[in-house]
């Protein structure tokens, strides 16, 4: 789906914004911020391009990351450029995460690219922590399973404030009606059926959102790198514009309450180089 086609899908959003007396030029500039987003769901339309659940097929001999396996994306099955991300053209992107905030700055997950043709070993659901207890196993057992189909959808910002260096908040620069636009976009995501449990690309979303969730994620990544606990000793960019939202997941864990939003993000330079080891993951959890 082209950008022009995605823009046409935003006609109801534009009309609703104009009915709120938001100036047309401001609304159109908001729409100019559009990002294509690959949305994965169990709907019947679109090709099968991902799967929730295991086994996790990691390169032979590679250790399992210290996080549970969430999903595998078949990169060759994605429509051309669905997420406006320079992803590899083949192989699988494996996503790992712990879906509950542990109350610290550490990354709660990672991503691994397994190129096509690479020999793999199958890892079971508890390989991330063989000694995990009953509570952890109950959560992992509730992770979703099954095939996911992909469709390309428009994504616009949910957030309407920026966090200034002095700690103050202000509306997004150039958008005096940013709060109304963000709220109307959230409404549009419902009546345009733009939601799905797993996304590649787009903008970050979570239950309580004023500023871009990536700002908090980047703060954690920078702090962890400064402490020598993440980043591989290489500089970690502090500007949100130097990062890409790689993926996001809204867990639905049945009777195991989650109430969380999981975001995987990666510096643009690492993504362009195909280095996924510096994917930082954070979790917004509201139990």
Hey, what are 145's tokens?
Answer: 């399973």
pTM comes to 0.93
pLDDT tens digit sequence for 12-48: 999 999 999 999 999 999 999 999 999 999 887 889 9
Angle at Cα 155 formed by Cα 154 and Cα 160, nearest 5°?
145
Burial of 283 (0-12, 13-18, 19+ CB in 10 A): buried
pLDDT string in tens for the chain (287-residue length): 788 888 999 999 999 999 999 999 999 999 999 999 999 998 878 899 999 998 999 999 999 999 999 999 999 999 876 667 999 999 999 999 999 888 788 999 999 999 999 999 999 999 999 888 998 999 899 999 999 999 999 999 989 988 877 778 888 889 999 999 999 998 888 877 777 899 999 999 887 778 899 999 999 999 999 999 999 999 999 999 999 999 999 887 766 665 688 999 999 999 999 999 999 999 988 76
- The residue among 34, 50, 110 whose CA lies nearest residue 280 is 110
CB 265 within 8 A of CB 214: yes
- The residue among 200, 154, 199 whose CA lies nearest residue 36 is 154
Q: How far is C-alpha 10 from the chain's CA centre? A: 21
pLDDT tens digit sequence for 159-183: 998 887 777 888 888 999 999 999 9
């Amino acid at each position: 789906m082209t950008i022009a086609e995605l823009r046409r899908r935003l006609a109801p959003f534009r009309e609703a914004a104009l009915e709120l007396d938001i100036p047309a030029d401001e609304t159109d500039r908001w729409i100019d911020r559009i990002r294509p987003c690959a949305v994965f769901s169990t709907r019947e339309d679109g090709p099968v391009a991902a799967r929730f659940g295991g086994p996790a097929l990691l390169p032979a001999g590679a250790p399992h990351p210290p996080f549970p396996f969430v999903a595998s994306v078949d990169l060759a099955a994605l429509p051309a450029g669905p997420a406006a991300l320079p992803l590899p053209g083949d192989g699988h992107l494996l996503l790992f995460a712990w879906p509950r905030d542990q109350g610290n700055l550490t990354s709660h997950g990672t991503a691994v690219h397994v190129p096509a043709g690479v020999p793999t070993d199958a890892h079971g659901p508890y390989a991330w922590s063989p000694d995990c207890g009953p509570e952890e196993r109950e959560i992992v057992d509730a992770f979703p399973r099954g095939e996911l189909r992909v469709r390309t959808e428009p994504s616009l910002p949910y957030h309407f404030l920026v966090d200034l260096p002095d700690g103050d908040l202000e509306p997004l620069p150039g958008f005096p009606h940013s709060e109304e636009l963000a709220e109307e976009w959230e409404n549009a995501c419902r009546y345009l059926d733009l939601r799905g449990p797993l996304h590649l690309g787009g903008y970050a979303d979570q239950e309580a959102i004023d500023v871009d969730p990536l700002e908090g994620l980047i703060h954690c990544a920078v702090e962890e790198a400064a402490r020598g606990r993440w980043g591989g000793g290489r500089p970690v960019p502090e500007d949100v514009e130097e990062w890409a939202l790689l993926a996001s997941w809204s867990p639905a864990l049945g009777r195991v309450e989650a109430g969380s939003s999981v975001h995987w993000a990666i510096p643009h330079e690492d993504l362009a180089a195909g280095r996924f080891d510096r994917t930082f993951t954070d979790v917004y959890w509201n139990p």
